Amino acid sequence: MEFAYSFAGLLVGFVVGLTGIGGGALMTPILIVIFGIPPVVAVSTDLIYASVTKSGGVFAYARKQLIAWRVVILLLLGSIPGSLLTLNYLKGFADLSQIEHLMNLTLGFSLILTSIAVFGRNRIREFALQQESKPWVSSARKIRPYVTFVMGLVLGSLVTLSSVGAGALGTALLITLYPRMSMPTIVGTDLFHAVILTGVAGAGHYTMGSVDLALLGYLLIGSLPGVFVGSYLGAKLSPKVMQPIMGSVLFAIGLRFVLAG
């Protein structure tokens, strides 16, 4: 079984390296559906797994000054309280089955939203850029910091409940709010925010005793070489091919969890 966990980590790491998408969105469903890991343990362990695996990429973006720190702070002002409030809400449940039901439903909806974000990333950016010259957009910029804060609040709750949403969904929301920001800066900003958010949420779940450290270790053993190989091959593949495939897979998985919930 230990080898199977590491192989799952290798597979997910490879997909993440290949496409830049799918860490929590793939790992959590695999742990629940294939390995029969309880949703609470799967989500909790995957949060720390995501924080560790994504942290390596942050330094490269920071060195190249591709992180919008003001946007990161606005996001964290919403997402950290959102995560802590959600953790406190979960601690109020006496019945574990209620928590698992809530997590399954949230995971399903988060995966469906993420699949839409993957499918529509380019169209979202094109539409947002087209709206930039409209008069109402200039007025809307005044409230953009508040919208960013609310976006962080929602992401904090979603990620804490499902371990999904910090990546592709966060990127799509940033593209919508900040269409003039370069894509590398959007990715770097979202990545840094995701590392902090998943780390905080994972630490909160750890205090609840739901993180499986042995499982985490086996996943990391496989994922690190997987990310390396996937990143090497990903540079040779067109995102026009990979994005529809990933979007379809995530949508199918999400639908499965919604219907099962």
The tokens describing 228, both together, are 């390396």
Q: 3 in helix, strand or coil?
A: helix
pLDDT at 231 > cutoff 90: no
pLDDT at 237 over 70: no
* Residue 209: per-residue pLDDT: 92
Residues of the chain with pLDDT > 70: what percent?
93
H or E stretch covering 159: helix 144-162
Tens-place pLDDT, residues 58-86: 887 888 898 999 999 999 999 999 999 99
Tens of pLDDT along 160-219?
999 887 877 888 889 888 988 888 898 889 989 999 999 999 999 999 999 999 999 999
Q: What is the spatial distance between Cα 187 and Cα 231, in angstroms, rounded to a whole number?
A: 15
| pLDDT, the chain, mean | 86
Contacts of 214 (CB under 8 A, 6+ apart): none
Close Cβ partners of 209 (under 8 Å, ≥ 6 residues apart):
none
Extents of the domains making up the chain: 2-260
CA angle centred on 118, ends 60 and 226, rounded to 5° = 50
Q: What pLDDT, on the 0 to 100 scale, is given for residue 204?
A: 96
Q: What is the mean pLDDT of residues 139-145?
A: 83
For 142, which DSSP code? Answer: G
Is the predicted pLDDT of residue 235 greater than 60, yes or no? no
Separation CA 127–CA 236 (nearest Å)? 28
pTM: 0.88
41-53 pLDDT, tens digit per residue, is 999 999 999 888 8
